Amino acid sequence: MSTIKDNIRPVFPFTAIVGQEEMKLALILNMIDPKIGGVMIMGDRGTGKSTTIRAIADLLPQISVVRDDAFNSHPTDAELMTDMVQELINSGQSLVTSLIDVPMIDLPLGATEDRVCGTIDIEKALNEGVKTFEPGLLAKANRGILYVDEVNLLDDHLVDILLDSAASGWNTVEREGISIRHPARFVLVGSGNPEEGELRPQLLDRFGMHAEIRTVKDPSLRVQIVEQRSQFDQDPYLCLKEYENQQNQLKSEIVRAQSILDDVIIDFSLRMKISQVCGQLDVDGLRGDIVTNRAAKAFAAYKGKLNVTSDDIEEVIVLCLRHRLRKDPLETIDSGLKVRQVVSEVFN
């Protein structure tokens, strides 16, 4: 008998994706520690950005939610539950929970603010005379991933709302005399093509990491990618079976990293060096320092270590800082290269 699971459209396995190591690492680290603040992926058309982002959600363990709750409320963590669920707990009621896959929500370019934030259920208001809140995409994305393709074409006002919610972990809606606040703790992943324009610097700065994707030039790698895609399109289940062991291994590495993350230590001398790099690069604000510290800890946890080394920092620091440098139109050197130069001066 076929189950609903068999009828769900299969997703290309994350471990089968060839190349694009920068993007894959940035996504994995954000899954280990969502507080890194999301990732902006800029790159050429047709380089597998959307495929990779959809594939990462498949690697995450299921989460426990309060059943029939539109906001994916956590049954025990007050930071991840609605006020209504908290009231139920305080009044001594027992909650019915269920396990769900980590939500992966796509935000379409034409989305309105009401669709993103939620709005008043007009039908109920007219028929029953009750003002009820109709949750938006931010509610659906709570404790999951919110993916915005072509984020550089999205209205700046909407990008602002997304970044505010991602940073605070809450979404507040004031509509027709109703005030609603609900948790909106998600990993924001944006992708875009630089040919279609850059994101404003003040918006770009609020993404934790920035990965750059280039089209693979090596002919043998290109052939490998094309063959893999063709095989998957012909028989997705065979391809999933082939990569099952690698997928499970990466899954368990992410789960282990999440469990030891709080115990990872980064020495004061290394924290000083990170801040020295940020100072020398003239990075505005302290976001760069904070994100690099977080990412280095997540990377160490991913490698199964409890102490961050300078190598761990060097692996992640370009991803954390390259989009925070001030743009100089006369500058000929690539921002990633500039970060690497300063890092090698400070660390070596």
What residues act catalytically?
287
Polymer length of the chain: 348
Q: Which amino acid is at 136?
A: G
d(CA 305, CA 301): 5
Q: Which of 155, 157, 159 is nearest to 190 (CA)?
A: 159
Helices (H), the chain: 4-7, 21-32, 49-57, 83-90, 113-117, 122-128, 137-140, 156-168, 201-204, 219-234, 236-242, 244-260, 268-280, 287-302, 310-321, 335-347
Structure tokens at 161: 């709302």
Alpha-carbon gap, residue 240 to 146, rounded angstroms: 24
Q: Which residues does 152 contact at the CB level (< 8 Å), separation at least 6?
A: 190, 192, 193, 196, 197, 198, 199
| Amino acid residing at 138 | L
Q: What is the DSSP string of 149-160?
A: ETGGGS-HHHHH
Instruction: Using CB atoms within 10 Å of the CB of residue 277, give its burial: 0 to 12 exposed, 13 to 18 middle, 19+ buried.
Output: buried
Q: Note every long-range contact of 256-259, with CB atoms under 8 Å and residues 24 or more positions apart, other chains counting.
A: 256/301, 256/304, 257/32, 257/298, 257/301, 257/302, 257/304, 258/32, 258/33, 258/301
Between CA 162 and CA 166, with CA 164 as vertex, the angle to 5 degrees is 65
Distance (Å, whole) CA 210 – CA 221: 24
